[in-house]
Chains A and B, each alone.
Chain A
Amino acid sequence: MIAARVLEDLAAVVGAHNVLSRRADLQTYEYDAYLEKALPGAVVFVDSTEQVSGVVRVLHRERIPFVPRGCGTNLSGGVLARGGGVVIEMARMNRVLEIDLPNRRMLVEPGVYNLDLSTALQPYGYYYAPDPASQKACSIGGNVGENAGGPHCFKYGVTSNHVLGLEVVLPDGEAVWFGGGGLDQPGFDLTGLLVGSEGTLGIVTKILLRILRLPEAVKTMLAVYDTIDDASNTVSAIVAAGMVPATLEMMDNAVIQAVEDSMAAGFPRDAAAVLILELDGLREGMEEQAERMIELCRANNVRELRVAQTEEERAALWKGRKGAFGAVSRLAPSYLVADGTVPRTRLPETIRRVGEISRRYGLPVANVFHAGDGNLHPLILFDSRKAEDRERVVAAGMEMLQLCADMGGTVSGEHGIGLEKAEAMRMVFDDGDLRAQEWVKECFDPEDLCNPGKVLPDRVSRLSGGRV
């Protein structure tokens, strides 16, 4: 419960209709795409940096925790207001402020949908590279929060490689700028620190992004395999050969079936795995590169190769990939994504052992991965209505993350740590490592008000309020 007096102070900053405190309204902000819930004490809509500052000042003064929220599509409980804090809703700050073609950058507010960035740039022949599968529905602010990745990040890098500068409202309400135009900034790389900080160090209010020219040519192909090992070996071979395709995406049979059931993307239903390989860049040399990649597929027992001949065929392949999570959601009432990373060469073994875990828990798994990055996303199917299912799925997910850590990988690829994986941080960091991270948090947010109870494990144990 937030005191009426505080609600009035918040309303004085943003207007009464921009403060929600009725239970029915709050219940629509108690979740994100992860499976836990936490009821916030209030929701505040902001429309400008000044409003964010004003709101944060009030909350800081009152020592009330708060969390910035983009579109709530994150998969790790990142926007749950643990301990009944205030959700600061960024959706209305959705303006593209400036497109600066000569300097190849754009200035935007955090609420712009990721896909809308490229839509705005398209007429000029530019685009914004990181393309999470959720790009239609997630905000660039949330991408910065999670350091989001996507299929094209194998070649182009994740969000942090494309953020040049940030305007940030610090946890005491002061607005500051990190980074700026150039690639190398004097002083500490605070931009880099903020990207991926999951709303725990401050609230991003403006983002200066690097933009890229649309590639002159794109070649997309589908490679079909009878075994996962062959598909994985192809990926390793391509990388070992020094090639840098734009994407190297893999889907297993369960995902193929689901995709075909829901949208008939044209994937062969009996394949053990398919790869979506895409080359982009200059037209010159593209054919040779494609030939070389096809050779490597053949050398690894590819059963069938389809090169998209038209933009429609290319779109169909991508529709299948981008809709994979969604398609899997038809197989069972709910799914949990275990987002872990392993060295590429250990993919086949990891997948086998993920299968073992799945069988042991009696929870089916469908696999879709950014194979180029060794980032796997086993989708564990369950029914969120059953309490025992929820417990088992969390345990199975944790085991898979432990597996990734054991394989020499790590517990997160791109979906963030949030609430879900705070404990799993211990799998890859020792106490000393974690202390160093805590120092950073304490330096920015000594009162622990800014998205508390996320990312760092002992902070999770200090708070309660989440309910499964």
Chain B
Amino acid sequence: MGSERISALAPLYDEVAKCGKCGFCQPTCPVYRTTFREGHVARGKNALFRNLVEGETVLDVDLRDSFDHCLLCRACTAACFPAVRTDQLVLAFRETYARRFGRPTLQRLIFRGLLPFPDRMRLVIRAAWTARRLGLDSLAARAGLLDMINPKLRNALEIKEDVPARFLRDRAADTGLGRPSARTVERGPAPLRVGYWISCGYNYMLPEVGEATLEALRQIGASVEILGNACCGLPVYGYGDRDGARSLARRNIELLGDLSRFDAVVSECGSCSGHLKEYPDLLADDPEFSVRAHRLAAMTRSFSEFVDPLLARTADLAPPPAAPDGDPDRPLVVTYHEPCHLGARYQGVVTQPRRILKSLPGVEYRELPEADSCCGAAGSFNVLHPEVAGGILARKMERVAAIGADVLVTECPACLLQLGLGVRRAGLPVRVAGISELVVSYSTGQRRAGSDRNGIRGGVE
């Protein structure tokens, strides 16, 4: 049954055969640490994958549980001496499974008809928000619409009392944010030319963080153009739709146009910047786009990666904003959650955000234990498996509570929303903030960190 399809997995036989079943991946897998299921850890996935290739099992719905339960966080590979690429095996499985059994029509529609087109996205999401406000959200949820567009959004619906009145793209256009600052810092003959990549998460959910990013870029003297990009394609890729992800990559390269007008393409979304850097891999066999994919990847920077070397050269930072309890002498205790797609296992951006935070006056930086362990947001994961995602998040919150931070900083909208949910559930007096919000609050002297309108990302007041 379907053996010709499974043969698509055969090229990965060498990869999976490297797994010696030593179990070293187990303690690092966030999913396993929550469910204790062997099928959810890399060793179990690899065993099933191998059985599939060897004909010891058949491709059926029972196998899905194992391969669905993966955050693609690569913690297993990092702990694995032969470095088995379980994330690639999972993606290959998802793709093969979808080819064999088909994708839901709606998913196909969204991947092909919506995500590539920012204007359509905007209308649909606006409509969904309106539905939510009119109490129609259950309808929308039933249609699975939001899940499919971007699972982060549905999760966000649970969190957000209110929705942004305007999306980031509109707000930035109105306020002229992103124009070069008068306070250009000493950095060379001409201002750095930055293409600002708008991630769906900031655009539709957390525009105030996006504004902080733009403001921070302006303050360090960059001249910023807001890119007309569509979804980077990571959610599509995560569902195992490689073809869909490839066409989104091509589409974005086209939308960005001539790259020579930029010195860097910057995003504060760890997932977007991480995925842009994977475009060359994705388009390796595409003669038309491969060169441009390389070019784009080479100039892509995460926010902290871009800002870190420049920050050292900016003018003095303003005095620190007061700690939440108003005591001006107490340092603001800041900690950092490392997004999977930004950190050691994807982009290798590890020291930069920490260095930035440590450089802020009046900040006491404390390293979060297991800072690089996934928070459970991970694309579709928190929608497909809310309970498991909740368990992963609870573990993260235990760590946050234990070190007693005032502010929990990160660099990814999905993580921001997830962590915000976490501090609220755990009732922690902790603010959750995008890293640019902290940088900006220091250079303007306002306490912006996590103080967005609704306090959604804050814990107990």
Contacts and interface: CB of A to CB of B under 8 A. Distances in A.
A31 B26 CA distance: 14
A72 B23 contact: yes
B389 interface: no
A327 B65 CA distance: 31
Interface stretch (B55-63, B109-117, B415-423, B453-461): B55-63
Interface in A63-79: 71-73
B13 to A, nearest CB: 8
A137 B33 CA distance: 12
B22 A325 contact: yes
Contact of B24 (A91, A326, A333, A335): A326
A27 B48 contact: yes
B350 interface: no
Contacts of B81: 262, 323, 325-327, 329-330
Interface string A318-343: 00000101110110011100000000
A91 B36 contact: yes
Contact of B65 (A24, A91, A262): A24
Given A24-B66, A28-B48, A92 B36 contact: yes
A330 B60 CA distance: 32
Given A27-B48, A136-B24, A329-B81, A89 B36 contact: yes
Nearest to A334: B20
Residue from the set A23, A113, A262 with the largest chain B CB neighbour count within 10 Å: A23
Given A27-B51, A33-B23, A72 B38 contact: yes
B17 interface: yes
B39 A24 contact: yes
Contact of B22 (A27, A73, A89, A91): A73
B17 A384 contact: yes
> Which residue, of B20, B36, B38, B60, has the highest number of chain A Cβ atoms within 10 A?
B38
Given A72-B23, A329-B22, 12 more contacts: A24-B62, A27-B47, A28-B43, A31-B21, A33-B23, A134-B24, A136-B79, A326-B82, A327-B81, A330-B81, A334-B17, A385-B17
A29 interface: yes
Interface in B1-48: 13-14, 17-18, 20-27, 36-39, 43-44, 47-48
A29 B23 CA distance: 12
A372 to B, nearest CB: 24
B22 A28 contact: no
A333 to B, nearest CB: 5
A137 B23 contact: yes
Contact of A27 (B18, B25, B57, B79): B57
A24 B48 contact: yes
Interface string B47-77: 1100100001100101101100000000000
29 contacts: A24-B60, A24-B62, A24-B63, A27-B51, A27-B56, A27-B57, A28-B37, A28-B47, A29-B38, A31-B21, A72-B43, A134-B22, A134-B23, A134-B24, A136-B24, A137-B22, A326-B80, A329-B18, A329-B22, A329-B81, A329-B82, A330-B82, A333-B14, A333-B18, A334-B17, A334-B20, A335-B20, A383-B17, A385-B13
A383 B20 CA distance: 10
Nearest to B40: A28
A73 B23 contact: yes
B138 to A, nearest CB: 26
Interface in A245-269: 262
Please indicate which of the listed interface residues B17, B36, B47 has the most CB atoms of chain A within 10 Å of its own CB. Answer: B36
A55 to B, nearest CB: 16
Contacts of B48: 24, 27-28
Contacts of A330: 18, 81-82
B36 A28 contact: no
B447 to A, nearest CB: 34
- Chain A interface size, as a band, is 35 or more
B83 to A, nearest CB: 8
A331 B47 CA distance: 20
A29 B51 CA distance: 13
A29 B47 CA distance: 9
Interface string A14-41: 0000000011110111111100000000
Interface in B173-228: none
Nearest to A336: B20
Nearest to A324: B81
Nearest to A467: B56
Nearest to B24: A137
Nearest to B41: A28
A33 B20 contact: yes
Nearest to A25: B39
A225 interface: no
Contacts of B44: 28
A385 B53 CA distance: 11
B90 to A, nearest CB: 14
Given A329-B20, A383-B17, A71 B26 contact: yes
Contacts of B39: 24-25, 28
Nearest to A142: B23
A31 B51 CA distance: 12
Contacts of B43: 28, 72
Contacts of A127: none
Interface in B112-138: none
Contacts of A262: 81
Contacts of A59: none
Contacts of B82: 326, 329-330
A28 B37 CA distance: 9
A98 B206 CA distance: 45
A412 to B, nearest CB: 19
A170 interface: no
Contact of B66 (A28, A29, A30, A335): A28
A45 interface: yes
Interchain residue pairs A-B with the least CB separation, the first 5? A326-B81, A28-B44, A24-B62, A28-B38, A73-B23
A129 interface: no
A194 interface: no
Interface string A330-363: 1001110000000000000000000000000000
A89 B35 CA distance: 12
